[in-house]
């Protein structure tokens, strides 16, 4: 099983992401205390996010718009302008959060790059994702960057074609069962699931129970040894 191409997710695979979204959500809940209890505010925001995915896509900008819409919905359009301003400031802070790599990320990517070409495959706002990659200092380790609106089997098929690699010689690693693992497997690639405790419920799906090209690993660093063992076998 020679792996010639390793595709890697960015948010919550290479660097922390969801913890900043959770902190911003907590701030919104506090802002909306006069209009709704915490549980209703959180569920309303999540429903609004999912409803807006087809319009705004993923990322901090889309999240900010959904926070504003949630505030208007829960207040009956009576939310004060000062709260809307607070939400906008929270959204700006979310967009500007520092890029904090998971421990050992750079060393792991260096080791992986010695074994195969690396391609970053991430979804979200183009400007924000480009800025985070630049701030991470990891860009030179990748032979390709793919910032996409969503991850589907055809997304991966296109990436494999552009990199002249057969699906069976490609691997996708990430923290989302819905976006990273299932579509990569359906495209014929290998997939390494690296779960994170703060994962968004929208991205959760049952793990494949009988696919020999699927593996769950405790960390990205574990992918290096797994690849060595798998290729040796």
Q: How confident is the model at residue 231 (pLDDT cuts 50, 70, 90)?
A: confident
Tokens of 105: 């990320």
Report whether pLDDT(31) > 90: yes
Residue range 161-172, pLDDT digits in tens: 999 999 999 999
DSSP 153-211: HHHHHHHHHHTT--GGGEEEEES-IIIIIHHHHHTT-EEEE---TT--GGG--PPPSS-
Q: What percent of the chain has pLDDT over 70?
A: 99
Provide the angle, in degrees to the nearest 10, between the axes of the packed helices 60-75 and 38-56.
130
- Residue 209 pLDDT: 80
Mean pLDDT of 204-215: 89
Residue 101's DSSP bridge partners are 15
Q: Give me the half-sphere count of Cα atoms (radius 13 Å) on the Cβ side of residue 109.
A: 23
For the chain, the structural domain boundaries read 5-16+100-232, 18-95
- Residue 213 pLDDT: 94
Which CATH class for the 5-16+100-232 domain? Answer: alpha beta
Report whether pLDDT(194) > 90: yes
Q: Across the chain, what does the average pLDDT equal? A: 94
**Which residue stretches of 57-152 are H helix?**
60-75, 81-95, 105-113, 126-136
Sequence-distant (6+) residues with CB within 8 A of 10 are 17, 120, 122, 129, 132, 133
Looking at per-residue confidence, does 147 or 2 come out higher?
Answer: 147
Residue range 96-121, pLDDT digits in tens: 999 999 999 999 999 999 999 999 99
Give phi and psi for 129, each to the nearest 5. -65, -40
Query: Is the domain covering 18-95 a CATH 1.10.150.240 domain?
Result: yes
Report whether pLDDT(215) > 90: yes
- Residue 199 pLDDT: 74
For the chain, the straight-line distance linking the first and the last C-alpha, in angstroms and rounded, comes to 8
Output the pTM of the full model: 0.90
Q: How confident is the model at residue 1 (pLDDT cuts 50, 70, 90)?
A: low
């Amino acid at each position: 099983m020679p792996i010639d191409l390793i595709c890697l997710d960015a948010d919550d695979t290479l660097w922390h992401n969801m913890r900043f979204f959770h902190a911003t959500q907590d701030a919104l809940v506090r802002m909306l205390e006069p209009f709704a209890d915490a549980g209703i505010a959180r569920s309303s925001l999540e429903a609004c996010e999912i409803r807006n995915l087809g319009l705004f896509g993923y990322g901090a900008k889309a999240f900010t718009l959904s926070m504003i819409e949630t505030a208007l919905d829960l207040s009956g359009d009576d939310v004060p302008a000062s709260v809307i301003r607070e939400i906008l400031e929270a959204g700006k802070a979310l967009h500007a959060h520092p890029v904090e790599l998971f421990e050992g990320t750079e060393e792991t990517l260096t080791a992986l790059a010695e074994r195969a070409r690396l391609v970053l495959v991430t979804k979200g706002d183009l400007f924000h994702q480009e800025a985070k990659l630049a701030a991470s200092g990891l860009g030179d380790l990748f032979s390709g960057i793919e910032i996409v609106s969503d991850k589907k089997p055809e997304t991966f098929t296109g990436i494999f074609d552009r990199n002249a690699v057969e699906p069976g010689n490609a691997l996708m690693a990430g923290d989302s069962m819905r976006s990273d693992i299932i579509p990569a497997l359906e495209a014929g690639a290998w997939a390494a699931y690296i779960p994170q405790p703060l994962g968004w419920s929208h991205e959760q799906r049952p793990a494949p129970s009988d696919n020999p090209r699927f593996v769950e690993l405790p960390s990205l660093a574990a992918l290096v040894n797994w690849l060595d063992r798998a290729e040796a076998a």
